[in-house]
């Protein structure tokens, strides 16, 4: 289908005098130029381009602009971009948007100002791809958090739809904890950070783990700022070693040395605590940066000698 050509009064920007522009266009020998009979001076071509830029409705090829849906058929959408003619786009390019209607604004790429029949050639799909890459690049540069839809599993990770672009989510970047069941994430919408963009191969890598780590770092900073010696906190046993127990205080780890677990002599910390056990501990000491936190468990109970003294 060839869209109807619109005939409108040509307006010129104020910085170009209408009579000069029109005079230039009237005197330009199109036949000689197209046939290569006359070599046109480069300055003359620049002047011609400048004259065209002053005309309302002039568009450049490969430019992405907004257009308006003016009419729709069973197979096509007619798009007005305020140029001398309308463009036609197959509805196949709008399959993601079944609610497309007359009056909607859509992004389009100027594929050709005119084809062999003089028709304006537009593409919505190409415009979406260009804009999607612009958004991905911006998110990568600004560390913006993006939302993506996990489409399926792939070797080593997952495929995520971000702005319409397929990005790779490595298995190691899903969570701070190792993931065994990848299928639980399929068809889920999650937030990500764009961590790598390869323009040569058009590859994008995203990470959900980076967001979790950022949250944990913020929590750790907040907790550390509130720590005081003698403070009693609830924690969870995270790891048990021969020399002590590491306790998670909610984003910050502290160590209960084996000698601070019990007033009685023990051979191994596992005699007193077990993994994932919740318990109260007291802060005994920490370094200047509060990166090494010394905790105590036995200090929350009376020393056996105190009981003997009372007896």
pLDDT of 61 reads: 77
Place of tokens 């906190």: 233
Are 251 and 307 spatial neighbours (Cβ–Cβ below 8 Å)? no
Backbone angles phi, psi at 237, to 5 degrees: -65, 120
Lowest mean pLDDT among 25-39, 76-90, 275-289: 25-39
State yes or no: pLDDT of 182 exceeds 80. yes
Percent of the residues in the chain that have a pLDDT greater than 70, as a whole number? 78
Are 67 and 111 spatial neighbours (Cβ–Cβ below 8 Å)? no
What are the start and end residues of each CATH 2.40.50.140 domain in the chain? 143-212, 227-303
The contacts found for 303-306 with CB under 8 angstroms, 24 or more apart, are 303/263, 304/263, 304/264
State yes or no: pLDDT of 12 exceeds 80. no
CATH of domain 143-212: 2.40.50.140
Q: What are the strands, taking DSSP E only, across 139-201? A: 145-154, 157-162, 165-170, 189-198
State yes or no: pLDDT of 309 exceeds 50. yes
- Two structure tokens written together for 283: 């802060």
pTM to 2 decimals?
0.60
Are 246 and 255 spatial neighbours (Cβ–Cβ below 8 Å)? yes
pLDDT digits (tens, 9 = 90+) for 98-130: 899 999 999 999 988 777 777 888 999 999 999
Helix residue ranges per DSSP H, the chain: 18-27, 30-35, 42-53, 124-142, 209-226, 304-310
Percent of the residues in the chain that have a pLDDT greater than 90, as a whole number? 54
The domain at 227-303 falls in which architecture?
Answer: Beta Barrel (2.40)
């Amino acid at each position: 289908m060839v869209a109807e050509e619109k005939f409108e009064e040509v307006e010129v920007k104020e910085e170009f005098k209408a009579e000069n522009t029109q005079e230039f266009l009237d005197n330009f020998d199109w036949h000689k130029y197209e046939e290569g009979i006359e070599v046109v001076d480069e300055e003359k071509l620049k002047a011609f381009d400048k004259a065209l830029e002053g005309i309302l409705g002039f568009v450049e090829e490969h430019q992405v602009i907004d257009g308006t849906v003016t009419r729709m058929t069973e197979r096509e959408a007619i798009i007005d971009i305020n140029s001398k003619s309308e463009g036609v786009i197959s509805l196949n390019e709008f399959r993601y948007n079944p609610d497309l209607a007359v009056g909607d604004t859509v992004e389009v790429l100027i594929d050709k100002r005119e084809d062999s029949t003089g028709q304006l050639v537009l593409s919505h799909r190409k415009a979406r791809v260009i804009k999607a890459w612009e958004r991905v690049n911006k998110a990568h540069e600004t560390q913006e958090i993006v939302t993506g839809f996990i489409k399926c599993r792939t070797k080593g990770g997952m495929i995520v739809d971000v702005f319409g672009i397929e990005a790779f989510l490595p298995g190691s970047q899903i969570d701070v904890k190792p993931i065994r069941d990848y299928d639980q994430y399929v068809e889920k919408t999650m937030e990500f950070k764009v961590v790598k963009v390869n323009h040569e191969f058009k590859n994008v890598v995203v990470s959900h783990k980076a967001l979790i780590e950022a949250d944990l770092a913020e929590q750790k900073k907040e907790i550390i700022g509130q720590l005081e010696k003698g403070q009693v906190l609830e924690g969870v046993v995270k790891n048990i070693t021969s020399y002590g127990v590491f306790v998670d205080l909610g984003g910050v780890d502290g160590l209960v040395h084996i000698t601070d677990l019990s007033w009685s002599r023990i051979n191994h910390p596992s005699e007193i605590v077990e993994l994932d056990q919740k318990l109260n501990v007291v802060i005994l000491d920490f370094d200047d940066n509060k990166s090494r936190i010394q905790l105590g468990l036995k200090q929350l109970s009376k020393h056996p000698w105190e009981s003997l003294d009372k007896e």
